[in-house]
Amino acid sequence: MHTSTLTIRLPQAQRAALKETALRLQKSESELVRELLAREFGQVSFGVRAAEFVGSLASATTHPTTPDSFRDAIKRNNWCPQ
């Protein structure tokens, strides 16, 4: 990949957010900016975009414990008269 250099000026708050996010994601600021630009231009796959969310969804503590109770919950929540 052939690269070129781009110099931009950012407000201090934006630069701080960029640094913090890059550190949290364990990426360089340049890598993060390239990913953000690629995402904006639609050049990033869904897998790459969703990777930061893997394992971040917490399930409810009140989930059904048996298949029958799950089926009952679906029927109860989706019931309609016939």
Note whether residue 49 is domain-resident.
Answer: yes
Based on the structure, what is the number of domains in the chain? 1
Note whether residue 61 is domain-resident.
Answer: no
What is the sign of the dihedral through the CA atoms of 8, 13, 15 and 21?
negative
Q: State the pTM of this model.
A: 0.51
Average pLDDT score over the chain: 80
Note whether residue 45 is domain-resident.
Answer: yes
Range with the lowest mean pLDDT among 13-22, 25-34, 42-51? 42-51
- Between the alpha carbon of residue 14 and those of residues 42, 58, 73, the distances in Å are 22, 30, 46
Note whether residue 63 is domain-resident.
Answer: no
Q: Which of 9, 13, 35 is nearest to 22 (CA)?
A: 35
Check pLDDT > 90 for residue 61: no
Average pLDDT over residues 60-76: 65
Range list of β-strands (E), 7-68:
none
Q: Give the structural domain span for 27.
A: 10-54
Contact by Cβ (8 Å): 36, 21 = no
Note whether residue 65 is domain-resident.
Answer: no
